[in-house]
Chain A
Amino acid sequence: MPPGLDNLKHIVVLMMENRSFDHMLGSLAAVDPRIDGVTDALSNPDTTGASVKPQPLAEFQSQLDPDPDHHFPAVDLQIFGGDTSPARTANMQGFVKSYFNQQEDVGHSQKIMYYFTQSQLPVLTTLALEFAVFNRWFASIPGPTICNRAFAHYGTSFGRVDMNPIYINEPFKNIYDRLLNANPKHTAKLYYYDATSSTMEVANLLQNEPELFGTYQQFLDDCNSGNLPQYSFIEPNYNDHDSDSGEEVANDQHPDHNVQAGELFIASVYNAIKQNADLWTSTALLIVYDEHGGIYDHVVPPACPPDQFTASANDTGTGQPFAFDRLGVRVPAILVSPWIPKGTVVSNRVFDHASIPATITRFFLGSYSPRSPRESNADVFIEPNVAPVDPARNLLSLDTMRTDCPDFDV
């Protein structure tokens, strides 16, 4: 069996907020043409009809204010360019128009096309170039945070496309309960940054199972002591606040929060794992964003097998129901492990957040049911450690662990 899979005991998922692939990693197309990022051929029309190209002018803060709309109707406009006809096709031509709707300022609306340079984001771009970057990881829904994060926990949003609480009254268990109730029992934890930041999974997990949660400091302690659970899900700090240790700046990268603070946070998670040699050998870290936040990306989200739920025309706000048969906009996703060859680019395979519970379930539990149709059809980013392992799909493929992985000075 591949030693990377043999050694793998922990999977950590860090889910950041509201940035698209092109916005964060698009610059890397110039470094490695296999990475499907920004090119000169891309553009969006503004409301005057002028062509607006992506430009490397993104700023860490105070640029995307107001927060770009990323609720279902706005994302529909972004993806379909305003075409509401039955025979429409997705073209990713409505981002500037959508942002214009918020302030009716043509100049400001063009900023939705801006992206970061490689040197601005030394953490994210280094990890993408050093480990495995996914060319086709999409948000699960063309909509906002809460319903997209639900896919990471449950493999479905139970029919929701909005920010309302998702109350589970369905047979699909969250990934934590699956692991904790398995025989033999597995271990899992959600780490929120601190109680003042808390979690976005309030309605079910925090309210009914608060024992699932720990703080980010506990994550650091668990890494240091070698007590990390088999599965960890980390939430960033969602707000600026004071704490006993001083000022805590939001590090979720949600506009208009500071992007550099998020870079530091990502590096901190990486360092915490890497500084424990045993943990580094036995852990895979997935860094992924919950959705694109209304920011431009050029890849058309593909259709997918529908879920067993349908959002009504009233709930979508577009006048049309949604069968969860199309993915959301593409987001950055990077898998980190010393068993991954440097410069791995995962192309020609499609992932979304349902791939998270799908992967965790298959790797730790093997077969499991019931699971949502969307999760059952989702691809996995780590192969089950069961013969035969397909070498073409196994990302942790090295025979010998790397010793050249970078360190971050935080």
Chain B
Amino acid sequence: MTLIHVPRPDLKIAMNPDRPVNALLKAQVQHLHGAERNLPVRHRTDIYINAIKTEGEAAEYIRQVTTAIHEAHKAAAKKPTRGIAIAAVASDGIPEKSKVSRKAKKRSPKKKTGSTT
């Protein structure tokens, strides 16, 4: 059996989160923005996507919305109204106070993680 060495890139050169967003990432951000608008309000971010200019900024937005989509589906699956469209969960009769409380709980760790990106 032959063992083939695979060279590693120099991280100092390869890693550049300040690189301008390419067309693919722009499209991905736009698509996620479309998906975000269908989420219950408490799962949405407050990121203005037109201000996203770098790969690192795009990455943070992508992380937040992807995580939110998973969380929204998990939350919906726990409801007795399983199978109903996620959008319906946004107006599912949860007391307003409870919604605010959940939103605050969700946002706290996101900000913490976001500061490292």
Contacts and interface: CB of A to CB of B under 8 A. Distances in A.
B11 A239 contact: no
Contacts of A239: 17, 25, 55-56, 58-59, 62
A68 B56 CA distance: 21
Given A202-B31, A410-B6, A247 B116 contact: no
A40 interface: no
Given A238-B28, A239-B58, A211 B4 contact: no
Interface of B: 1-9, 11, 13-17, 19, 22-25, 27-28, 30-32, 34-35, 38, 55-56, 58-60, 62-63, 65-67, 69-70, 73, 116-117
Interface stretch (A360-368, A369-377, A399-407): A399-407
Contacts of A242: 17, 116-117
B7 A260 contact: yes
B2 A407 contact: yes
Contacts of A404: 1-2
Given A60-B9, A263-B6, 7 more contacts: A146-B27, A200-B28, A240-B55, A240-B59, A241-B56, A241-B117, A258-B13
Interface residues of A, number: 50
12 contacts: A163-B27, A198-B66, A203-B34, A206-B66, A240-B17, A242-B17, A242-B116, A242-B117, A263-B6, A263-B7, A407-B2, A410-B6
A196 B59 contact: yes
9 shortest A-B CB distances, which residue pairs? A202-B31, A241-B59, A258-B14, A196-B63, A163-B27, A260-B9, A207-B35, A198-B66, A195-B66
Interface in A302-327: none
Contact of B5 (A198, A207, A238, A409): A409
Interface of A: 17, 60-61, 67, 122-123, 126, 144-146, 163-165, 195-200, 202-203, 206-207, 210-211, 238-242, 247, 249-250, 254, 256-258, 260-261, 263-264, 267, 403-410
Nearest to B1: A407
Contacts of A408: 3-4, 6
A260 B8 contact: yes
Q: Would you call the interface of chain A mostly helix, strand, loop, or mixed?
A: loop
A196 B60 contact: yes
A240 B117 CA distance: 10
- Among B17, B24, B65, the most chain A Cβ lie within 10 Å of the Cβ of B24
Nearest to B30: A165
Given A144-B23, A203-B35, A207-B35, A197 B6 contact: no
A272 B31 CA distance: 31
A195 B14 contact: no
Nearest to B16: A240
Nearest to A213: B70
